[in-house]
Amino acid sequence: MSNVISVVQAFDRALIREIPGDDDRALEAKLAAAERALRERNSWLEPHRRGAILQRTASLLEAKQIHFAELIAREGGKPLTDATVEVIRAIDGLRNAAEELRHFGGREIPMGLTGASEGRWAFTTKEPIGVVAAISAFNHPLNLIVHQIAPAIAVGCPVIVKPAVPTPLSCLELVELFREAGLDERWCQAFVTDDNALAERLATDPRVAFLSFIGSARVGWYLRSKLAPGTRCALEHGGAAPVIVDASAKLDRIIEPIVKGGYYHAGQVCVSTQRIFVHTDVLADFVERLAARVKSLRVGDPRLPETEVGPLIHPREADRVASWIHEAVEGGARLIGGGRPSETTLVPSILIEPAADAKVSRLEVFGPVTCVYGFRELDEAIDVANSLPFAFQASVFSTNIGPALRAARRLDASAVMVNDHTAFRTDWMPFAGRRQSGYGIGGIPWSMEAMSQEKMLVLRYDGLGLET
């Protein structure tokens, strides 16, 4: 341990705790311990023991639900009501991983289909892929960690998890709960560093068989290009999620979900609603209703139960988002809302018709901003929605089945929500970015598949002494 990392509250930058950072010697020790756990097959845990540890950890987390929610609100800036939901999801995610083990197995491979395959019986079994390195993001500092390490523990992979520098505390305390639940340290270790070179060494070490990365596309795709031969990976990045509002949509019912999708956690969500395409027949009414609801959002200290929108994670992120808003307004967009009550807090804003080349139209904002554009023809809106080099989740609001299905079929997205916001997710559904937005499929059952590998056994019983 060579340096100290100061963890501060996202809202007011007040110090929460100082923690020791890991150095290169600590990284080597953790990798060696993980590799040793994998190599010593007699120490592998049976599925029932892995499942029991996951269930016990879920119960321990449930007993500390209030504590973890407050910790998420402090270090990550997520409003307390949403932080509470995150803890509930994390508890459920641990149990999902344990329960998935009941269905997690191989399959029979047909034999006897040709003369050459007679007298044989073949089937597959599941084995852990190897050491997992998990590099996580700040915006869901508990639940993202669960999504990365619970599948690894479930399938029997040793896992080393690096939390985001601003939000390590939820991760460290969760790892301690696994210890309390009976998991040997070698099977789940936290690696805390603010040294990007060390993080890269973790990801690219040849002893790592699988990299789980959640964060920026620039870093994720770079790390993928540097992985050791044979290392598999899953990358989860972000996008600029589109919503299409058809002329038939009931405006009194859609404003609330759209606001939730756009301003939840101050827009710091990889599938946050960002680009809203509204049919011109209802555009003026939609903007009026959206503006009224956005202006009523309660902004402030995330620890207060009434807060709906909290801070951004760092002052430089508030600077960046504010500069993008300014650029859009300078380029002709109309601004509704806005303002900066503190160095990390932005008042939610709406940009009406920003230019196509504005950053807010081309890039992921990751802040409390939505952009509204009018359209006349549905295919025109779909073409613009599909025009960016990344794609994740999308939405269409309509009471007519024709436009809803046409948009659902033609939007370039891994998931299309009909009459719901783009940020909807359950933890057992597949979750994946397309193109530059990601690689591989997340979601606990899918991650378990990715972190395992099949081995086929072929038994020849014809004439070789095996009786049937």
Assess whether 270 carries a catalytic annotation.
yes
Q: Which of 236, 317, 364, 449 is catalytic?
A: 236
Strand partners, 434: 391
User: Other C-beta atoms within 10 Å of 181: how many?
Assistant: 19
CA pair distance 219, 200, nearest whole angstrom: 10
Nearest to 160 by CA among 18, 22, 41, 57: 22
Please state whether beta strands 108-109 and 120-128 pair in parallel, antiparallel, or not at all (unpaired): antiparallel
CA pair distance 208, 453, nearest whole angstrom: 14
Helix (H) / strand (E) element for 274: namely: strand 273-279
User: Other C-beta atoms within 10 Å of 134: how many?
Assistant: 30
Q: What does DSSP assign to residue 442? A: B
Q: Which residue has 């808003």 as its token pair?
A: 325
Q: Confirm if 234 and 203 have CB atoms less than 8 A apart.
A: no
Q: Confirm if 210 and 450 have CB atoms less than 8 A apart.
A: yes
Q: Which of 171, 270, 317, 371 is catalytic?
A: 270
Helix (H) / strand (E) element for 278: namely: strand 273-279
CA pair distance 324, 351, nearest whole angstrom: 11
CA pair distance 105, 326, nearest whole angstrom: 54
Computed on alpha carbons and rounded to an integer, the radius of gyration of the chain in Å comes to: 24
User: Other C-beta atoms within 10 Å of 359: how many?
Assistant: 19
Using alpha carbons, list the distances in angstroms from residue 420 to 135, 250, 265, 446: 30, 12, 17, 23
Q: Confirm if 351 and 334 have CB atoms less than 8 A apart.
A: yes
Provide the strand spans (E) within 280-418: 334-337, 349-352, 369-375, 390-391, 393-397, 415-418
Assess whether 236 carries a catalytic annotation.
yes
Degrees to nearest 5, angle at CA 8 with 5 and 10? 135
Q: What does DSSP assign to residue 431? A: B
Active site residues: 236, 270
